[in-house]
Amino acid sequence: MAEPTALTGRWAPSPTGDLHIGNLRTALLAWLFARSRGGRFLWRFEDLDNAVRPEYYRRQLADVAAMGMDWDGEPIRQSDRTELYQEALQTLRATGLVYPCFCSRREIRDAVSAPHEYLSQGAYPGTCRDLTIAQVAKRSESRRPAALRLRVSDVEVTIVDELLGSHTGYVDDVVLQRGDGTPAYNLVVVVDDADQGVTQVVRADDLLASTPRQIHIARLLGVEPPDYAHVPLVLNSDGQRLAKRDGAVTLGDRIQLGESPIDVLNAILSSLNLGSLDSVDQLPRRAETFDPISLPQTSWIYSP
């Protein structure tokens, strides 16, 4: 694992489409948090998803650069790092805490809708956690390939988020590897952050619920989790999370409508109470005066 020499932040999009305004706003915040404190800013592609398309690697890099942001070193791809994830998985398996799970999403959804104190927290109901060797063998023959889960017993983790304050979350039996053999998000993000020496994670607040799980996994692997700042989402006019189906919400869309990158950047800066700039080249100046205490605590409603 890398030894951090200074504050290190990161941006980790999935190359499954063009970045929309909400993505760009979160990227900008992650960049400002890192650069305002003299830190490094790394780019990591979370590209283990089947919906990844080759053209989006380049287009996402180009859009972020067009907004005046830079990054340190070459972007890395999770798809090039599967050996690291398998090593971490083997470390966890050696603890005896990893077990196969044959449940479908529907079965889990139906189970967690039942009235039960444990299930009411939205946790995995533990259907497969105590299967016998014979039961595992039988299900392996008759059902889909098993995912791998981490056995967790009555664990709660409290974090102190820079923007949201103290948050305590229940840790359920989190998936470590999907049934198709793909390492799961909550494992790979821990491995990547530790390997790259990431000390600060700035991301959207819809990922807050995953943070206790990731901290628990980090502790089991013997690595230091980063500090966190979860920022408000960008929502559409209906109050739902902004998505590309909401209209002209990507940088390319806005340019086709006659706007420029500085127009889009200023709209985002304004939504963050950070004023405006004359050109994207001036963005480093904003980093010099950036103070997260001035950031709004509510979501931005964006109506293109």
- Catalytically active residues are 244
Nearest C-alpha neighbor of 155 from the set 218, 101, 239, 96: 218
Dist CA 64 CA 155 (whole Å): 38
Contacts of 304 (CB under 8 A, 6+ apart): 21, 246, 247, 248, 249, 253, 254
Angle at 274 between CA 268 and CA 279, to 5 degrees: 70
Dist CA 180 CA 146 (whole Å): 8
Dist CA 257 CA 251 (whole Å): 10
